[in-house]
Amino acid sequence: MKTDGKYYCDVLIIGSGIAGLSCAITAADLGLDVIIVNKESSIQESNTNYAQGGIVARGLEDSPELLSDDIMQAGDGISNPEAVKIVAYEGPGMVEDFLVKKVGVPFSRTGDDEFEYAREGCHSRRRILHSKDSTGRAIETSLVGKLGEYKNIRAYSDHTAIDLLTIPHNSTNPIALYREPQCIGAYVLNNKTGNVERFFSSYTVLATGGLGRIYQHTTNPPIATGDGFAMADRAGARLINMEYIQFHPTTLFHKDADGFLISEALRGEGARLKTKDGVPFMAKYSELGDLAPRDEVCRAMYEEMIKRGDSYVYLDIASYTEINVKKRFPMIYEKCLAFDIDIQKVPIPVVPAAHFSCGGVQVDTWGKTSLKCLYAAGEVAATGLHGANRLASTSLLEGLVWGIRSARDIAGNFNGNKPYKESDIPPWQFPERTEETDPALIQQDWVSIKSTMWNYVGIIRTTRRLERARADIGYLKSRVDDFYRRAQLVPMVIDLRNGVRTARIVAEAALKNGVSRGAHFIK
């Protein structure tokens, strides 16, 4: 058995994107002792770090009412009105006060030193603040830099959360059975030492990001293996709307591109989708044309590719804009140029890819989950803001809003009492004998998960495909769970366990919902 380390804090935050770091900074400002754990070697590694397009603010001739209408339209009518109102009325102010004034994010400005607002699909106004085409990186870098100012924030990279610590499940005290289920921290693997450590906390915040890596094609980085969804599910927290997986229409089609995102902001600046023979097609599918909601654009692209037997379509900005493409989209320009694609002269080959989970761990307007003392913020949380489909550039804003609101609610309810007796919570129990991990077998399991989800629980679904997915993923999950109980505990095993469980949750949710809506399309 490995040596058991113990850590104590008021607030444990699992994840280090915009949701987790805004929560940490706000909680620290309110006098709480905060610990952040992140499974990657760098605290900056997160979904946020890869976001390109921008974050919703309040543009010229804009209003909360207009933003609310745009969010509701994109969500296909099932967005939570309370969540929409909070974001529309409070969100832009938080961007100004927290990100601009407090953290100092260097958003792009005009020659007159005014904010440069972009427009994206389904937005009725130019209201998107951006830092060229690396907005997420600019936000993440600024947030991480701010952490250094706080003595009451401790950050632990290379620490992979295994499971949430809960009462009564993890308690050895039989009397705990009569208590309301409650989260008191997490078991966490120290990736460098192999030790499993107990992180005790009065409150825990899941800010683990998304699940895109359960799909064959995704814009998400390797970190997005559905960890928070799986941990919450095992702990008994409620998850909702998991069938609504948003696919991004435009990722670079190249064998070495690894799902590189081509921002929707290109279409906001005039770029148009074309077939391989150069014919624009979006007008056939939507009155909004190339600025239609993402689900409509993805299905249109899918239909055109199937109809023509093509593996991709083109996104042409060179023919439709007078802006300096190289200056406006420097990262995209350089990335494409590395593959001999000069986007100032030629169209970009693109395909859709899994991008964002509109559902997740159900939370209220303050980030509270159904499990006492557990909060969730960012993509892992289901605030109801997105309904059946997310409006572009609202993900960073949602993470910011609920990161801050969660911290404020925790501070408002904090009384200094520890909701646990440490002696009742045993150290992690390792199996007496463990099997050595074979990376080849793990890789093959991931291939099975990703191909099954892409083919059966993808852009266009059928009942038969979903039934097949449930059966195949269910069998694979039982095999992975059995392996997990005997395997050497390493990050890749934890990721696999979480990934297959999350895949099953998505497949089952999709099968249960026979109504086509937004990002869940049943043919």
Task: Identify the three-state secondary structure at position 343.
Answer: coil
Cα 164 to Cα 198: distance, rounded to the nearest angstrom: 10
Tokens of 243: 């069938």
The tokens of 115 are what?
């904010």
Distance CA 386, CA 405 (A): 18
Give the span between the Cα atoms of 389 and 379, in whole angstroms.
13
Alpha-carbon distance of 405 to 411, in angstroms, equals: 10
Positive or negative: CA dihedral 96, 97, 99, 101: positive
Q: Which amino acid is at 71?
A: I
Residues paired with residue 7 on neighbouring β-strands, in sequence order: 199
Q: Strand order in 239-240's β-sheet? A: 239-240, 360-362, 381-382
d(CA 15, CA 355): 18
Q: With contact defined as beta carbons under 8 Å apart, do 389 and 293 qualify?
A: yes
Give the integer Cα–Cα distance in Å for 159 and 193.
10
Amino acid, res. 92: P
Q: Which of 294, 405, 461, 517 is catalytic?
A: 294
> Within 10 Å of residue 324's Cβ, how many Cβ atoms?
11
Q: Measure the CA–CA gap between 307 and 145, rounded to whole angstroms.
A: 50
User: What distance in Å separates the CA atoms of residue 348 and residue 318, rounded to the nearest whole number?
Assistant: 9
The answer to whether residues 254 and 349 touch, using CB atoms and an 8 Å cutoff, is yes
Q: Which two three-digit tokens encode residue 270?
A: 């005039």
Q: Write the DSSP symbol of residue 308.
A: H
Phi-psi label, residue 259: left if phi above 0, alpha if psi -120 to 50, beta otherwise: left
**Structure tokens of 349?**
């080959």
Backbone angles phi, psi at 334, to 5 degrees: -65, -40
Residue 242 to residue 382: CA distance in whole angstroms: 9
Sequence-ordered list of residues with C-beta below 8 angstroms from that of 173, at least 6 positions apart, any chain = 421, 424
Distances (CA, A) of 298 to 270, 354, 404, 502, 518: 18, 10, 33, 23, 11
Task: List helix spans (H) across 354-489.
Answer: 395-413, 439-456, 463-486
In Å, what is the CA distance from 31 to each residue of 10, 34, 137, 407, 416? Answer: 10, 9, 28, 11, 11
Task: For residue 324, give both structure tokens.
Answer: 């300096």
Mode of pairing for the β-strands spanning 381-382 and 360-362: parallel
- 294 has catalytic annotation: yes
Question: What positions carry a catalytic annotation?
Answer: 294
